[in-house]
A and B are shown apart, each in its own frame.
Chain A
Amino acid sequence: MRLGLVVNPVAGLGGRVGLKGSDGEAVQARALAMGARPRASERAALALTELRSRLPGDAPPILTAGGPMGADAVRAAGLRPEIVYKPRRPTTPADTVAAAKTLAPLVDLLVFAGGDGTARDLLDAVGSSVPVLGVPTGVKMHSAVFGVSPRLAAEAVAVMAARRARLIDAEVMDLDEEAVREGRVTARLHGHLRVPDVPVRIQQRKTGSSAPDPAAINGIAAEVASRLPGPDLLVLGPGGTTRAIASALGADVPVMGVNALRAGTAVATDLPADRLTELVRSGPSWIAVTPIGGQGFLLGRGNQQISPEVLRAAGPDRLLIVATEAKLAELGGRPLLVDTGDDGLDRELAGHRPVITGRGRSTMYPIH
């Protein structure tokens, strides 16, 4: 199987600094100024390393673009790059489109590292002319074209290489980042890409969340309140459920950011990873997160501010998972997913954990 790779070097820049996306040069510059570190190439290399260990014999060269758009990652994984496209510096979305167009007729599978914005660029460039698969490195990943984590993306490639995966059309979704920064959440279907059908390893599309049932939310909020001692800090991840919990506890917080409450009052809103780490290290803290509806991501999608450092500082026992029963049902039995960027922590979090679904009610649910 001839494998192609294109990396969007700036994908995911906005995540840990709380910018909810990385689209647009101004946002990227701001993210870099806030101390963001490009991770796309690193995560692509992680996937390739995993893939190398799974492919029998000597790995063939990987067709790719030069420098941070692929060749760096291929070399980091100990594989040989065959460079078919040389990008300008700094790279732009036009480079992603041009590289993908060059690669498409030459490969059997085009792996790309990026987020929803990159998936849209791929859609423009190659449409359904070649199978693709995303290594998740973005902030927003609502599309159904990504592996659950770099490691599982590599597994999906290996399954396809063994000719054991059929191809399906998967949704390319994207949020309007400007609208999100203004507090509105709107996702739109942009089209379909052909991806190998490897359930569990490929994340599902995020469904439009329906209004949470107020009785269920109040029950969850009461249960969360009963779990933590009065003066402890409560960190709430983004989402309608957690926002409704804040409101039931008496605080009004923004819909997308990570917020912190103490005794029913918001002490900080829309926290980036570094400030959050400081805050959590300063005293006993609990972290309440809710999975993304229909998709099941608990950590690592849209809430990268809750970084491995934050989770370790709070302690894994103080991670409260909350979801209405309806939201769990929407997952159709698929597990909850974590991709914190720290493999060891992901493994620690995996297994069965209680999800708070109401007052005195929980569901034991698997996390992968």
Chain B
Amino acid sequence: MRTAPVSVSPADARIAAKPPLRRFHQASWDEPLLFELSSPGERGVLVPGPQVPLDDSLPAGLRRQDPPGLPELSQLHVLRHYLRLSQENLGVDLNIDVGQGTCTMKYSPKINDQFVRDPGVAELHPLQDERTVQGVLEIIYRLERMLAEISGMDRVSLQPGAGSAAIYTNVAMIRAYFAACGELEQRDEVITTIFSHPSNAACAKTAGFKVITLYPDADGYPDLEALKAAVGPRTAALLITNPEDTGIFNPRIEEFVRVVHEAGGLACYDQANANGILGITRARDAGFDLCHFNLHKTFSTPHACGGPAAGACGVSEALAPYLPRPTVEFDGGSYWLNDDRPASVGKIRPFYGVIPNLVRAYAWIMSLGAEGLREVAEIAVLNNNYLMKKVLEIRGVSAPYAEGRRRIEQVRYSWAELAEDTGVHSEDIGVRAADFGTHYWTSHHPFVVPEPMTLEPTESYSRADLDEYAAILAEVAREAYEDAEVVRTAPHNSTVHRVRPDTLDSPETWAVTWRAYRRKILGE
């Protein structure tokens, strides 16, 4: 691999400057699967047998006939296995992780994890009497009030287990609202935009609505004329993200809300991209009836790959009766869970919310304060526009839609020109970047922008980080023009495991468990 020479100016000759392109080489362990490492009889922990005979105390349907098909390994072998795999990874704590598409994670402060591991949080049980969990109920209550303040909404629920769960909860509340008005049969359409968070269309469809999608106007902004053509007596709601996934802020957002309200519909704000507007704009001030936040992304909690993330729903007073139950209430003396909510859409998940993430988000907001939140947004926007300037200087990149205009907190770039010139595709560039110790991946659904690359620097990364990231992209683009083969055959210094996408096209061939792999791929 070629590496640019390290340049050291005389002024700081005593300290070697950080190389713009570091000499990176990743570990490669050729590690087998746990099941392939299994050795009969080997044990990590010797679990004591049952102290009482189980035969009569468990119903027959709950008793296994055969022992579970688990791999048999010692503790050391398990530890070593996962450490090796972790060395073949580029985690959020290891690289300049601004290339997660619309899913970029800001830094998650480690002290917040200490709070979560505190026995006062970690050893709570969801079935405890509420008099014994006053502390965590207070955290939830206060966090809800903070998010209500941040969004301008009247009430907030923290029950949803992720951003999309929160969007679905909002759609469920919209459905319940129109059912109560007797208009649900008539209002069966939800309107969204093509560059809104794709979960808007998906959740509306899942909840039984028809979905109408709007394309941008000739200037690249959400198309008000298209909205006017789409609204009518069948409109239930507008589900819209702002700024959109292109990073473009809708300058006519209040008019969008007005047009939908005039047609009798509700306006629901997807705030997955709220990082650049915290403390600057508020959903309710623009007239929205509902909104949601991802507590991951915006409020620093882990994303957890579709696992236990956390979402928040905010609603106006008119929609508050439909919030999921229970709600957390405070009577001036103590906190309590209110299950007596007859109009509620019901429970969105068992118990109440993903407590560890609610604790992290609460700690994060408390550590910043109101002014700190606004500063987060300002730095995130500044970082993004700094990076955009540097990236757009690279040959072959563009930022389609609203060209020449600034973006809020992220940009959906296009390598279309480079692909046309060199035959190198965006996916190749993301993989080649891994040879320099970073990456980006292609979370760009729907694929409207050709050869997409979506970068969101957040407030977590320094100017030096952004310079290094841009230098890597510039180097890979140079290679694409001068020696495209190097890029196309990447990775050379890192361990990207290429999957065979053709096996993921059909349920007949995809295998996401060991058992499915044996059945579908090995034919056992």
Contacts and interface: CB of A to CB of B under 8 A. Distances in A.
Interface in A316-333: 325-326, 328-329, 332-333
A303 interface: no
A352 interface: yes
A328 B213 CA distance: 12
A357 B210 CA distance: 11
Contacts of A352: 223, 225-226, 229-230
Given A352-B225, A352-B226, A361 B215 contact: no
B448 interface: yes
A333 B215 contact: yes
Given A354-B212, A366-B226, A361 B446 contact: no
A1 to B, nearest CB: 28
A230 to B, nearest CB: 21
Contact of B216 (A333, A360, A362): A333
Nearest to B188: A360
B340 to A, nearest CB: 36
Interface string A325-368: 11011001100000000000000000111100100111111100
Q: Which of B205, B401, B448 has the most CB of A within 10 A?
A: B448
A328 B216 CA distance: 12
Given A351-B229, A352-B225, A352-B229, A361 B213 contact: yes
B417 to A, nearest CB: 13
Interface in B431-479: 446-448, 450
B214 interface: yes
B229 A363 contact: no
Given A352-B226, A352-B230, A364 B215 contact: yes
A363 B225 contact: no
Interface string B222-236: 010111011000000
A364 B447 CA distance: 17
Contact of A333 (B201, B212, B401, B446): B401
Interface string B175-216: 000000000000000000010000001000100011111111
Contacts of A363: 194, 212-215
B401 A364 contact: no
A364 B211 contact: no
A365 B213 CA distance: 9
A324 B156 CA distance: 38
Contacts of A351: 229
Contacts of A329: 446-448
Nearest to B414: A332
Contact of A325 (B212, B230, B446): B446
Nearest to B212: A362
B46 to A, nearest CB: 50
Nearest to A330: B450
Contacts of A332: 400, 448, 450
Among the interface residues A332, A351, A357, A360, which one has the most CB atoms of the partner chain B within 10 A?
A360
Given A326-B447, A329-B446, A360 B210 contact: yes
B360 to A, nearest CB: 37
Contacts of A353: 229
Contacts of B211: 360-362
Among B226, B401, B450: residue with most chain A CB under 10 A? B226
B229 A361 contact: no
A333 B221 CA distance: 11
A353 B230 CA distance: 8
A357 B212 CA distance: 9
Given A332-B450, A351-B229, A352-B230, A365 B210 contact: no
B447 A361 contact: no
B184 to A, nearest CB: 15
A208 to B, nearest CB: 15
B188 to A, nearest CB: 9
Nearest to A360: B210
A365 B215 contact: yes
Given A351-B229, A352-B225, A364 B214 contact: yes
A128 B157 CA distance: 66
Nearest to A332: B450
B117 to A, nearest CB: 45
Contacts of B216: 333
A364 B446 contact: no
Nearest to B214: A364
Contacts of B446: 325, 329
A352 B213 CA distance: 12
A328 B450 CA distance: 12
A357 B213 CA distance: 10
Contact of B210 (A361, A364, A366): A361
A341 B450 CA distance: 33
A364 B213 contact: yes
B227 to A, nearest CB: 8
Interface in B43-65: none
A161 B226 CA distance: 34
Contacts of B448: 329, 332-333
Contacts of A364: 212-215, 223, 226-227, 229-230
Given A332-B450, A352-B229, A352-B230, A362 B213 contact: yes
Contacts of A361: 201, 205, 210-213
B64 to A, nearest CB: 38
A46 B194 CA distance: 37
A326 B209 CA distance: 22
Contacts of B194: 363
A275 B132 CA distance: 81
B167 to A, nearest CB: 17
Contacts of B215: 328, 333, 363-366
Nearest to A352: B229
A28 to B, nearest CB: 38
Contacts of B210: 360-362
B284 to A, nearest CB: 27
Nearest to A334: B218
Nearest to B445: A325
Contacts of B209: 360
B202 to A, nearest CB: 11
A332 B220 CA distance: 11
A333 B220 CA distance: 9
Nearest to B217: A366
Contacts of B213: 357, 361-364
A361 B227 CA distance: 15
A256 B215 CA distance: 29
Contacts of A326: 447
Nearest to A354: B212
A325 B202 CA distance: 14
Given A333-B216, A364-B214, A366-B215, 20 more contacts: A325-B446, A326-B447, A328-B215, A329-B446, A333-B220, A333-B448, A352-B223, A352-B226, A354-B212, A360-B209, A360-B210, A360-B211, A362-B212, A363-B194, A363-B215, A364-B215, A364-B226, A364-B230, A366-B223, A366-B226
10 contacts: A328-B215, A351-B229, A352-B229, A354-B212, A360-B211, A362-B211, A362-B213, A363-B212, A363-B214, A365-B226
Interface of A: 325-326, 328-329, 332-333, 351-354, 357, 360-366
Task: Report the 7 A-B pairs with minimum CB-CB distance, sorted nearest first.
Answer: A352-B229, A360-B210, A364-B226, A329-B448, A363-B213, A364-B230, A352-B226
